[in-house]
Amino acid sequence: MSDALDSYRSAWNTKPVLRLVYDDFYNRIAGICRPGTTIEIGSGIGNLKEKIGNVISTDIQFAPWLDCVMDAQTLPFAAKTADNIVMVDVLHHVEYPTAFFAEADRVLRPGGRIIMVEPAITWGSSAFYRLLHHEPVVMSADPLIVGAPDPKRDPYAANQAIPTLLATRDRERFHRQFPRLRIDRVDWFSLLAYPLTGGFKPWSLVSEAAARRLLRAERTIEPLIGRALAFRMMLVVEKSATTDD
């Protein structure tokens, strides 16, 4: 197990407020998964299985609780074998998202879904991600560039802007490039509770009880102000129910 995963697991076990925020992520995901087989990519410390049954847990690096070690750009699954592909904080680490989406298109059954929770670069979150987060935000990047993945690349290399670019500026290009896949839903959520917890860092500026109240309040107002202020997004891509192959 890598030092990073060990650190994340330690934070998870010692920060109830962190578990509370991620439970909100997992509940959102579980609420829109199709019945059937779910492949989780980038399972990390492996908590999604507590919320969703029939999950195949995978990551690019070994951990004893994983079912499979693999790269998101080369999925070791047969065609049309999965009903859902789920990812939390993974897409913005993928070197060539086009390679992943091509593989997801192959592996998903007709009507299957890719469900991703990722950073949202908005008016309200931009300064936080640019100044207080270690991963870069490059809004000029092309998320649909095609290339050959580098097996020696650092799996934690990232561009936090990638999911937002796909959901906004490059949405129609995505649809043209992957005609069987459609961005079906984008939820802009997570206002104050997430940044105030400090994520997987050892500090938190909010108690578990206060975070619980904040999350309840955020649910009511995120449809109104989420697009402008959200720190997170849930991006749902659905495969056509009728395919040519």
Going by C-alpha positions, the residue among 138, 236, 240 that lies closest to residue 187 is 236
Tokens 């896949």 sit at which residue? 181
Going by C-alpha positions, the residue among 179, 189, 155, 167 that lies closest to residue 235 is 167
Q: What is the pLDDT of residues 167-221, one digit of tens each?
A: 999 999 999 999 999 999 999 999 999 999 998 889 999 999 999 999 999 999 9
What CA–CA distance (Å, rounded) separates 200 from 60? 20
Tokens representing 96?
């060539």
CATH architecture of 3-239: 3-Layer(aba) Sandwich (3.40)
DSSP 29-70: HHHHPPSS-EEEES-TT--GGGT-SSEEEEESS--TT-SEE-
At 118, the amino acid letter reads E
What CA–CA distance (Å, rounded) separates 52 from 139? 33
Res. 1: pLDDT tops 60: no
Q: What is the pLDDT of residues 38-77, one digit of tens each?
A: 999 999 888 888 888 889 999 999 989 899 999 999 999 9
Paired sense of beta strands 108-119 and 181-189, if any: unpaired
**Which residues, 6+ apart, have CB-to-CB distance to 3 below 8 Å?**
none
Res. 2: pLDDT tops 70: no
Number of Cβ within a 10 Å radius of residue 238: 20
Number of Cβ within a 10 Å radius of residue 179: 11
In whole angstroms, how far apart are CA 21 and each of 115, 191, 200, 228?
18, 11, 11, 20
What is the rounded average pLDDT for all residues in the chain?
94
Q: Can you give the pLDDT at residue 143? A: 98
Res. 5: pLDDT tops 80: no
Q: Can you give the pLDDT at residue 201? A: 87
Q: Can you give the pLDDT at residue 40? A: 97
- What is the model's pTM? 0.95
Q: Can you give the pLDDT at residue 49? A: 85
Hey, CA dihedral for 197, 222, 111, 183, is it positive or negative? Answer: negative
Going by C-alpha positions, the residue among 192, 234, 236 that lies closest to residue 214 is 192
Q: Can you give the pLDDT at residue 139? A: 98
Hey, CA dihedral for 124, 162, 12, 130, is it positive or negative? Answer: negative
At 217, the amino acid letter reads A
Confidence of residue 244 (pLDDT cuts 50, 70, 90): low
Residue of higher predicted confidence among 164 and 242: 164
